[in-house]
């Protein structure tokens, strides 16, 4: 669901050793609570500290300010657990 775009490091053990990382499941569940492309773009921008990633072209729409904050706060919580 786009994790390789902004957190490729947590996928490394899954890809190379077949070892699961609980954060992967948590992140997928989090992302799927939002429109997929918008969530991926917000999280990519958050990771790269470049909010130009947040831009979504019509007919799709981006996340609201509240949604972006909730998503990035939850992401940070998962990644620091």
Does residue 1 carry a pLDDT above 80? no
Angle of helix 65-80 relative to helix 36-48, nearest 10 degrees, comes to: 60
On average, the pLDDT of the chain sits at 91
Which of 1-10, 15-24, 59-68 is predicted least confidently?
1-10
Structural domain containing residue 48 = 3-80
pLDDT-derived band at 26, boundaries 50, 70, 90: very high
- C-alpha to C-alpha distances, 9 to 12, 50, 64, 78, nearest whole angstrom: 5, 19, 28, 14
What φ, ψ does residue 13 adopt, rounded to 5°?
Answer: -65, -35
For the full predicted model, state whether its pTM sits above 0.95. Answer: no
**pLDDT at residue 51 greater than cutoff 80:** yes
The total domain count for the chain is 1
């Amino acid at each position: 669901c786009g994790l390789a775009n902004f957190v490729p490091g947590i996928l490394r053990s899954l890809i190379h050793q077949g070892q699961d990382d609980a954060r992967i499941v948590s992140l997928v569940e989090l992302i799927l609570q939002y429109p997929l492309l918008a969530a991926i773009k917000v999280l990519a921008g958050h990771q790269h500290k470049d909010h130009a990633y947040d831009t979504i072209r019509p007919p799709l729409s981006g996340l609201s300010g509240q949604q972006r904050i909730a998503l990035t706060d939850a992401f940070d919580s998962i990644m620091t657990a």
